[in-house]
Structures are given as C-alpha cells and as structure tokens.
Structure 1
C-alpha cells in the first residue's frame, strides 16, 4: 500500500513530465521509435525468411558426400 506522500511524489513527477515536454516533441519521439522498431522487425523478418528457405532447400552445409 502506498502512503499519501509516495502518491504525491509520483503524481508530481508525472505532472512535471507532462508539462516539461511539448506535445509535438512527444509525438515526434513516438513516431521515431515506431519507425525504427518497424524497420528492425522488417530486417529480422527478411533474415528469418532467408534462413528458413536456406534450411528447406539444403543450405545447411553438412552434406554426406
């Protein structure tokens, strides 16, 4: 259970963050994080597909000849 002082400190900190950052900066940061996250998922997805195709078509490198 949180004491009233702890709640006051948390609420004060949240209001400070809310008013110290302009809305345009916050939206810009969200879009930047979204773009980089999306690009990372696309790169990982393409690498995974290439890896799966190489495994399916014998690109493992352990032939028995």
Structure 2
C-alpha cells in the first residue's frame, strides 16, 4: 500500500479544485503562514532582546 505524501495530497487538492479556487486557496494558506511566521520571528526577537538584558 502506497503512503500518501504531502506532494500527493497537494496534487490531488489542486486537481480537485477549479483553477480560481486552487489559486485562492494557495494564497489564503500562504497569507496565514506569513502571519504565523512573522509573529514567530517577532516573538523570537523580543525573547532574544529580553534575554540579553538579564
């Protein structure tokens, strides 16, 4: 039995959606990942600065 990988699931999702829906879904996911990563980087910077003052 073949294991499903992320790439297989992504290809299946892209083929099952219409063109505009697929692009919209990709950009929505990208936007939320960007917010998450920006918050993570800001939190890391704040943590490093607060750690350096001790």
Larger Rg: 1
1:55 aligns with 2:51: yes
After TM superposition, which residue ranges in structure 1, 4 or more long, deviate above 6 angstroms?
none
Q: Structure with the greater relative contact order (CA < 8 A, sep ≥ 6): 1 or 2?
A: 2
Alignment of 1:1-65 (within 5 A): 14=12, 18=15, 20-58=16-54
Cα distance in 2 for partners of 1:41, 1:30 equals 16
Cα distance in 2 for partners of 1:40, 1:30 equals 15
**Root mean square deviation, CA, Å:** 1.8
Instruction: Give 5+ residue unaligned stretches, structure 1.
Output: 3-13, 59-65
Paired residues, what number? 43
Higher helix share: 2
